[in-house]
Chain A
Amino acid sequence: MKLLRVENLKTYFHISEGIVKAVDDVSFSLDDGQCLGLVGESGCGKTTTALSINRLLPPEGIIEGGEIYLESVKLTVLSDVEIRKHRWKDVSMVFQGAMNAMNPVMKIGEQIAEAVVWHQQVTHQQAWNRAKELFELVELEPGRIGGYPHEFSGGMKQRAMIAMALACDPKLVIGDEPTTALDVMVQAQILNLLDRLRKTLKMGLIIITHDLSILGETCDRIAVMYAGKIVEIGSTEDVYDRHMHPYTHRLLMGFPNIHRPKLMPEPIPGSPPDLIRPPSGCRFHPRCDYAQEICQEQEPGMTTAGNGHSYACHFGGAFNG
């Protein structure tokens, strides 16, 4: 059985300006112990997808359609009380710890222990011992457990955030930009740590990022999102080396590659579309170099390229010449 199945998920935000179709018909799945990378520009719906799984959306965000299954549990129909039991215990999240994701006036150890106490029948002391174990697991000095977030560096905070996410042995961990705002060295350390933990603890992992370059060594599969839709999904090798969507191609051209000749990375022209009134047809067509008439009129369906690799483009691979 799949660990996670997201089927035709539609999450819309109802704001005064209109309805923002932040996530529009998104489907993907994840096996036990697998790592999926969810990549795209800011505002493409990747975080909204993640928050929909745990139903952590703000009041104006509503799941309008589709289903999300965690193993056999249909998360989308659970009551508020029931979904709370699954949060953190089954699906936990690693937020951008370098920012403000931890309570500034509460000891970090306490922030780990409180989750353990809440979900498991343990004493406060046992929960603190668990927090110490977790500190060692993420290679933090257990003596620092009584510290406050402001006493930790960015990388340490991110490690503490990971320790917190592992507190209740979750089946699935979602990292929402877990390495953003960290310097490159620390970024690599954190990704290695996540990768190692995923393999030893055999948990599912979803990494959300805007930086496609960091996913290569960590992820089994990558889903590329654009304007609320998945435009390409496949194994890491397929997406890196045999990608078919012009947007994926653009993203990969957007960072320097030491194996390629020295060229200035090319930015993607234009800006992400307005999701209240998304472009007709293919949502990427206004920024696409290969767009033709059909792209304005008809939304491309998913084309399968074999081995679980599929893409949504009328002219897949056009950039290859």
Chain B
Amino acid sequence: MKRQYLAKKIIQSLVTIFFVLVFNYILFRVMPGNPLAMIMRNPRASQEAIERTRELFGLNQSWVVQFWIYLKHLFTGDLGISFLYRQPVTEIIVARIIPTVLMVGLAQILAIIVGVFLGVISAWKRGSRVDVAALGFSLVTYSMPTFWLGIILIFVFSVSLRWFPTSGMLTPGQSFSSTFAMVRDAARHLVLPVLTLSLVLIGEYTLTMRNTLLDVLTEDYMTTAKAKGFDDNYLIKKHALPNAMLPMITLIAINLGLVIGGTIQVETIFSWPGLGRLMFDALKARDYPLLQGIFLLITLSVIVANLIADVTYGYFDPRVRE
């Protein structure tokens, strides 16, 4: 049964990926702008040169053949050449993955820990001062625009207090005496973007955790568990949380998939050399191959995150395994 469930989910994901590939291909064909003009960048190019380029890039082929070529190249990891950087798209993207994953990963871990904790506390102590405080905090951070929060944090901690640098991942032009010194410098640069992103996520996680836990606490099986004489700690850990975490798993997984694209604001504000900023730059320069590559990566990560959510959900909830 379990293997069947897993196989079904994987097949579903593969089908979705195929549709994404088709869509991703069509999207950039229907966008305005002539690719030849972009590649040539020379309005006075001879007709012969244009024809040669058209042939070189396969633009003289029918769209079916073009799609086939696109697929073939995709499977060999060839996403084309960036107009802006004049480098293979794959190389550019790969170089940007680590900073994004580092920043987003840290922010996610921080937000999950704090958010789940705050949510549990405020649900359990519903109506108390702790609950009101946690709820107020979450509502404020959740509804704050990310870019605005980022700018405020820069203003307070970088400009006024001068505790943390305003932008980048490493201090430019600095040579580091040791790896430790470099890690330290990167850590100082990480604080503000991680804080911005996690503050917003904490709000979301706290609110969801609180609501689902409140629902679970009124379930009949919680009364049964209480009737068995368990103390509060045991009730929460063994009976309430395993049920309340189910919607959280979905939320966390989907957020994991989305954050790569969703960090455009944070990365742009803090000039973080990650994928979000790359996307922003590519968009500004109308760098279609690069954008296409980034879109593909984002959609893939969303699909993979959903697959992970489905599989973990199946692990935690026996009811969905069949």
* Chain A positions near chain B (C-beta within 8 angstroms): 54, 56, 81, 84-89, 92-93, 95-96, 99-106, 114-115, 118-119, 148, 150, 164
Asked if A87 meets B225 with Cβ closer than 8 Å, knowing A114-B238, A150-B319, the reply is: no
Q: Are B230 and A103 in contact (CB-based, < 8 A)?
A: no
Interface residues of B in 78-107 (CB under 8 A from A): none
Q: Are B230 and A100 in contact (CB-based, < 8 A)?
A: no
Asked if A103 meets B221 with Cβ closer than 8 Å, knowing A114-B238, A148-B318, A148-B319, the reply is: yes
Report the Cα distance A23→B235, complex, angstroms: 28
Distance from A128 Cβ to chain B, minimum over Cβ atoms (Å): 16
B301 interfacial contact with A, CB 8 Å: no
Distance from B293 Cβ to chain A, minimum over Cβ atoms (Å): 41
Q: What residues of chain A lie closer than 8 Å to B228, measured between beta carbons?
A: 87-88, 92, 114-115, 118
Q: Are B230 and A95 in contact (CB-based, < 8 A)?
A: no
Q: Are A93 and B318 in contact (CB-based, < 8 A)?
A: no
Q: What residues of chain B lie closer than 8 Å to A148, measured between beta carbons?
A: 318-319
> What sequence of 0s and 1s flags, for each residue 218-252 of chain B, a beta carbon within 8 Å of any chain A beta carbon?
01110111111111001000110011001000000
Q: Are B229 and A104 in contact (CB-based, < 8 A)?
A: no
Q: Are B318 and A102 in contact (CB-based, < 8 A)?
A: no
Sample (29) of A-B pairs whose CB atoms are under 8 Å apart: A56-B223, A56-B226, A56-B227, A84-B229, A84-B231, A85-B229, A87-B226, A87-B227, A87-B228, A87-B229, A89-B229, A92-B228, A93-B224, A95-B220, A99-B220, A100-B219, A100-B220, A101-B223, A101-B224, A103-B225, A105-B316, A106-B242, A114-B228, A114-B238, A118-B234, A119-B229, A148-B319, A150-B318, A150-B319
Q: Are B243 and A104 in contact (CB-based, < 8 A)?
A: yes
In the complex, how many residue pairs between chain A and chain B have their CB atoms under 8 Å apart?
73
B55 interfacial contact with A, CB 8 Å: no
Distance from B36 Cβ to chain A, minimum over Cβ atoms (Å): 59
Q: Are A103 and B227 in contact (CB-based, < 8 A)?
A: no
> Which residue of A is nearest B231, CB measured?
A84
Other CB < 8 Å A-B pairs besides A88-B227, A103-B239, 4 of them? A93-B224, A103-B221, A103-B243, A114-B230
Q: What residues of chain A lie closer than 8 Å to B242, measured between beta carbons?
A: 103, 105-106
B51 interfacial contact with A, CB 8 Å: no
Which 3 A-B pairs rank lowest in CB-CB distance, beginning with the nearest?
A87-B229, A100-B220, A148-B318
Report the Cα distance A103→B239, complex, angstroms: 7
Interface residues of B in 197-230 (CB under 8 A from A): 219-221, 223-230
Q: Most A CB atoms within 10 A — which of B224, B230, B234, B242? A: B224
Distance from A179 Cβ to chain B, minimum over Cβ atoms (Å): 16
Distance from A111 Cβ to chain B, minimum over Cβ atoms (Å): 8
Q: What residues of chain B lie closer than 8 Å to A89, measured between beta carbons?
A: 229
Q: Are A100 and B318 in contact (CB-based, < 8 A)?
A: no
Q: Are A101 and B221 in contact (CB-based, < 8 A)?
A: yes
Asked if A93 meets B227 with Cβ closer than 8 Å, knowing A101-B220, A148-B318, A150-B319, the reply is: yes
Q: What residues of chain B lie closer than 8 Å to A93, measured between beta carbons?
A: 224, 227
Main secondary structure of the interface of B (DSSP, over half): helix
Q: What residues of chain A lie closer than 8 Å to B234, measured between beta carbons?
A: 118
Among candidates A88, A99, A104, residue contacting B319 with C-beta atoms closer than 8 Å: A104
Distance from A183 Cβ to chain B, minimum over Cβ atoms (Å): 20
Report the Cα distance A166→B231, complex, angstroms: 20
Q: What residues of chain A lie closer than 8 Å to B221, measured between beta carbons?
A: 100-104
Q: What residues of chain B lie closer than 8 Å to A81, measured between beta carbons?
A: 231
Q: What residues of chain A lie closer than 8 Å to B226, measured between beta carbons?
A: 56, 87
Distance from B30 Cβ to chain A, minimum over Cβ atoms (Å): 47
Q: What residues of chain A lie closer than 8 Å to B318, measured between beta carbons?
A: 104-105, 148, 150
Report the Cα distance A96→B224, complex, angstroms: 10
Report the Cα distance A85→B228, complex, angstroms: 9
Q: What residues of chain B lie closer than 8 Å to A101, measured between beta carbons?
A: 220-221, 223-224
Among candidates A85, A96, A105, A164, residue contacting B220 with C-beta atoms closer than 8 Å: A96
Q: Are A118 and B229 in contact (CB-based, < 8 A)?
A: yes
Q: What residues of chain B lie closer than 8 Å to A119, measured between beta carbons?
A: 229
Q: Most A CB atoms within 10 A — which of B227, B229, B231? A: B227
Q: Most B CB atoms within 10 A — which of A86, A88, A96? A: A88
Distance from B246 Cβ to chain A, minimum over Cβ atoms (Å): 8
Report the Cα distance A87→B226, complex, angstroms: 8
Q: What residues of chain A lie closer than 8 Å to B225, measured between beta carbons?
A: 103
Q: What residues of chain B lie closer than 8 Å to A86, measured between beta carbons?
A: 229
Distance from A56 Cβ to chain B, minimum over Cβ atoms (Å): 6
Report the Cα distance A148→B321, complex, angstroms: 12
> What sequence of 0s and 1s flags, for each residue 286-316 of chain B, a beta carbon within 8 Å of any chain A beta carbon?
0000000000000000000000000000001
Distance from A174 Cβ to chain B, minimum over Cβ atoms (Å): 9
> Which residue of B is nearest A90, CB measured?
B229
Distance from A222 Cβ to chain B, minimum over Cβ atoms (Å): 24
Report the Cα distance A257→B83, complex, angstroms: 88
Report the Cα distance A103→B317, complex, angstroms: 11
Distance from B169 Cβ to chain A, minimum over Cβ atoms (Å): 42
Report the Cα distance A183→B54, complex, angstroms: 76
Q: Most B CB atoms within 10 A — which of A56, A101, A119? A: A101
Report the Cα distance A115→B219, complex, angstroms: 19
Distance from B131 Cβ to chain A, minimum over Cβ atoms (Å): 13
Distance from B237 Cβ to chain A, minimum over Cβ atoms (Å): 12
Among candidates B224, B229, B231, B317, residue contacting A105 with C-beta atoms closer than 8 Å: B317
Report the Cα distance A89→B230, complex, angstroms: 11
Q: What residues of chain B lie closer than 8 Å to A54, measured between beta carbons?
A: 227
Q: What residues of chain A lie closer than 8 Å to B231, measured between beta carbons?
A: 81, 84
